[in-house]
Chain A
Amino acid sequence: MSRATPSTPPTRQDRRRLELEQRREQRRSAREKPAASPLRSPMVLFTAGALIVGAVIVGIMLLFRPAPPSVADLLPPGHEIPAGAVANGRTLGAADAKVTVEIWSDFQCPACMNFATQLEPLAISGYVVTGKVKLVYRDAAFQGQRYEYDESTEAAAAARCAADQGLFWQMHNWLFANWNGENEGAFAADRLRAIATAAGLNLTTYDSCMASGDQQTAVRNETASGLAAGINQTPTLIINGAKIVGSPNNFADFAMILDQAYAAAP
């Protein structure tokens, strides 16, 4: 029985020779194999495809990007402020009118919108122009309070900025004419700006007024004072001190209330 002789370990020279041989072989095969074009690499093709698709999507977004709201997108008010109705800030009517109607309102509230667009114009032409009644607008800006961008407060502040320019009632009419749901962007900053333009405001003055935040603070303060006085629903009318919660059903009812107040006034 013969025993296998253990093989001798390769010397350093053997290993070196083997490495050189392998490198020579690699170089030879590299020479023989045609170099693959980098343009045919799947990675390059996938990257190029993704860049093209991404660019097309962004291109479509750019092409169809929304235009900022303009005056042309707005609805004009259904009525004008009659020439005979004297405006003084947020008051409309003769200072010595026997009946004062305080309207606690929110530009976002649908019932306020109905009152402002349906009953108020008739009251203005029938009672304010004749000097019997004066209207005083008060802020009860509740509806947007839980939102970060409070559309009720911003719209009311925009109306106060309009009052600074002697255009409160024009702005009031344009705001209610463009009421479009609650907290849904009808009174987003750029739309308010378009409404201010439509109402005839000087935009530079309007912008600095809105940016100062003073009118927003004034709106919040008046809303808080109203709440403290029990005004927790809009619209609420205070007619010569008598409180009416909600809007009268129709103009006949409203006219009757105004007539009674006029008759009872000293």
Chain B
Amino acid sequence: MITRRVPARPLLGIHPAIILAVLDVIGLLVAGYLSVVELSGDVPSCGIISGCEEVARSPYNNFFGIPVAVFGVVLSVALLSLALAWWKTDIYGLLLGHYALSLVGVIFDGWFLYVQVFIITKVCIWCVTYEVSLLLRFLIALIVYYRQPKPEPV
């Protein structure tokens, strides 16, 4: 059933996958910037808003020695691939895949936001931007799912 092709119902006059892809690119740019800066041994700049340095230097910002932002890049690339593939093929399962993968990201980001607020007690605006973009992607995928005609069971 998930491999069936179901024409997408437009959202704001365009294929919803385009909206998801735009948000995926925004997430990819944010996570990409953080990854490049952190892998080069520097810390991201927050401008007038403080908190990025503390979060970047926190041991919580690493998962088995890899900066969390790198996982953000991997997640964004995977989500972007799913969105583009759905746009081109209208295969129903790709929308569900985007929804489920963004839900995994939202759960992780919920944990990371908790760490920032209650453990590090500093919030990194770059991380929050990524978290908001991911939450939007999850919500849009969910809304699109409910608006989308469902494939008939075989």
Which of chain A's residues has its CB closest to B105's CB?
Answer: A54
B103 and A51 contact, CB distance less than 8 A: yes
A57 and B50 contact, CB distance less than 8 A: no
> Which of A47, A64, A149, A188 sits near B103, CB closer than 8 Å?
A47
Give the top 9 A-B pairs by smallest Cβ distance, nearest first: A54-B107, A66-B59, A50-B103, A50-B100, A46-B100, A46-B96, A54-B104, A58-B111, A185-B57
On B, residues with C-beta under 8 Å from A are 1-2, 41, 43, 46, 50, 52-54, 57, 59-60, 63-64, 92-93, 96-97, 99-101, 103-104, 106-108, 111, 145, 153
B97 and A46 contact, CB distance less than 8 A: yes
B59 and A42 contact, CB distance less than 8 A: no
> Which of B92, B96, B145, B153 sits near A36, CB closer than 8 Å?
B153
With the chains together, A65 CA to B112 CA distance in Å?
Answer: 12
In the assembled complex, A20 has its CB within 8 A of some CB on chain B: no
Given contacts A147-B53, A149-B54, A185-B57, whether A42 and B1 have CB atoms under 8 Å apart is yes
Residues of A within 8 A of B43 (CB): 147
B103 and A54 contact, CB distance less than 8 A: yes
On A, residues with C-beta under 8 Å from B are 36, 42-43, 46-47, 49-51, 53-55, 57-58, 61, 64-66, 147-149, 184-185, 188
Which of chain B's residues has its CB closest to A189's CB?
Answer: B54
Interface of B, secondary structure class, is: helix
Residues of B within 8 A of A47 (CB): 99-100, 103
With the chains together, A149 CA to B41 CA distance in Å?
Answer: 16
Residues of A within 8 A of B93 (CB): 42
30 contacts between A and B (CB under 8 A): A42-B92, A42-B96, A43-B96, A46-B96, A46-B100, A47-B100, A47-B103, A50-B99, A50-B103, A50-B104, A51-B103, A53-B104, A54-B103, A54-B106, A54-B107, A54-B108, A55-B107, A57-B108, A58-B107, A58-B108, A61-B108, A64-B64, A65-B60, A66-B59, A66-B60, A147-B43, A148-B46, A148-B50, A149-B54, A185-B57
With the chains together, A63 CA to B84 CA distance in Å?
Answer: 36
